[in-house]
């Protein structure tokens, strides 16, 4: 059983397109996250949702819009894709405070913008 | 923004050697974590530390939460080929939201 799953695994698209990445967790966790990992492998948090409510919104362009239909899902929609959006995007989940660091990561979605 | 200084950036060792890496911060952290990332996979939690001075082991891995709350180290004893990967430290600051901050990673290579 996959704890945190993401689709698609790979996404190749043209500049200017709109795309979505889906994430689901079956761990019963209350909190979900989106991270971006750049080519140097630096991991940076983008968003965090707790029970469908946005908690963390780092300085991310508003072309990125997370959507949480229920606490088991957190999708990421990206409008007007740019070259600099190419990266690996990881979804994660955790039980949240007081142990937010116990995060379980998905396998990642490698986005390539041409 | 807040950063964790993780070192070394990369390591090349022989199989069987012990490994040590560390993480420092200018701010106090409430929680220190160590993750490992294999190629093509997401990070996996290795060890979580919640108290200053805490020393925790997970098999051949040992990590410590520094007394000052501003640093942590991870040791791997008797390295084996499957230890290859990127090791990330991560921390959560005191009295803040549940965001955790990641270090830039230590890339471990094992020479044949």
Residue range B36-88, pLDDT digits in tens: 999 999 999 999 999 999 999 999 999 999 999 999 999 999 999 999 999 99
Give the per-residue pLDDT at B18.
97
Confidence of residue A58 (pLDDT cuts 50, 70, 90): confident
Model pLDDT, residue B7? 96
Determine the distance in angstroms separating the CA of B21 from the nearest CA of chain A, rounded to an integer: 17
Can you give the pLDDT at residue B57?
96
Average pLDDT over residues B1-10: 86
Query: How high is the pLDDT of residue A56?
Result: 79
Q: Closest approach of chain A CAs to the CA of B63, in angstroms?
A: 15
Query: B92 vs A101: CB contact, 8 Å cut-off?
Result: yes
Say whether pLDDT at B1 is over 70.
no
pLDDT at residue B96 tops 70? no
CB contact under 8 A, A97 and B86: no
Structure tokens of B67?
């007394």
Cβ within 8 Å of residue B57, ≥6 positions away: B47, B63
Average pLDDT, chain A: 91
3-state SS record for B14-76: ECCCCEEEEEECCCCEEEEEEEEECCCCCCEEEEEECCCCCEEEECCEEEEECCCCCEEEEEE
Quick one: what percent of chain B has pLDDT higher than 70?
94
Tell me which residue in B31, B43, B91 faces A105 most closely, judged by beta carbons.
Answer: B43
Q: List, as one string, the DSSP characters of A22-84.
A: EEEE-S--SEEEEEEE-TT--EEEEEEEETTEEEEE-S--TTEEEEEEETTEEEEEE-S--GG
In B, which residues are within 8 Å of A89 by CB distance? none
What pLDDT, on a 0 to 100 scale, did the predictor assign at position A95?
Answer: 83
Question: Shortest CA distance to B103 belongs to which of B41, B28, B21?
Answer: B21
In Å, how far is A18's CA from the nearest CA of chain B? Answer: 24
How does pLDDT run across B14-30, given as a tens digit for each residue?
999 999 999 999 988 98
Most confident of A43-57, A95-109, B17-31, B89-103: B17-31
A94: which chain B residues are within 8 Å (Cβ-Cβ)?
Answer: 98
Q: How confident is the model at residue A87 (pLDDT cuts 50, 70, 90)?
A: very high
Spatial distance between the Cα atoms of B65 and B74, rounded to a whole number of angstroms:
9
- Predicted pLDDT of residue B95: 55
* B100 contacts chain A (CB < 8 A): yes
Nearest-by-CA chain A residue for B40: A107
The dihedrals phi and psi of A40, each to the nearest 5 degrees, come to -90, 10
pLDDT score of B52? 93
């Amino acid at each position: 059983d996959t704890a945190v799953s993401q689709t698609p695994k790979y996404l190749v698209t043209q500049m200017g397109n709109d795309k979505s990445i889906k994430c689901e967790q079956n761990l019963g966790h209350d909190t979900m996250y989106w991270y971006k990992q750049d080519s140097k492998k630096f991991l940076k948090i983008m968003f965090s949702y707790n029970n469908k409510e946005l908690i963390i919104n780092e300085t991310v362009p508003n072309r990125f819009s997370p959507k949480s239909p229920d606490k088991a899902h957190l999708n990421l929609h990206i409008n007007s894709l740019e070259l600099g959006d190419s990266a690996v995007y990881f979804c994660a989940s955790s039980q949240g405070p007081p142990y937010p660091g116990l995060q379980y990561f998905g396998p990642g979605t490698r986005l390539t913008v041409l | 923004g807040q950063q964790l200084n993780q070192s070394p950036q990369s390591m090349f060792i022989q199989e069987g050697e012990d490994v040590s890496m560390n993480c420092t911060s200018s701010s106090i952290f409430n929680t220190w974590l160590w993750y490992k990332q294999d190629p093509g996979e997401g990070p996996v939690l290795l060890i979580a530390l919640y108290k200053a001075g805490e020393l925790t082991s997970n098999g051949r891995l040992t990590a410590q939460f520094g007394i000052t709350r501003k640093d942590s180290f991870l040791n791997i004893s008797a390295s084996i080929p499957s230890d290859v990967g990127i090791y990330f430290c991560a921390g959560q600051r005191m009295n803040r939201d549940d965001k955790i901050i990641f270090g830039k990673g230590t890339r471990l290579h094992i020479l044949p």
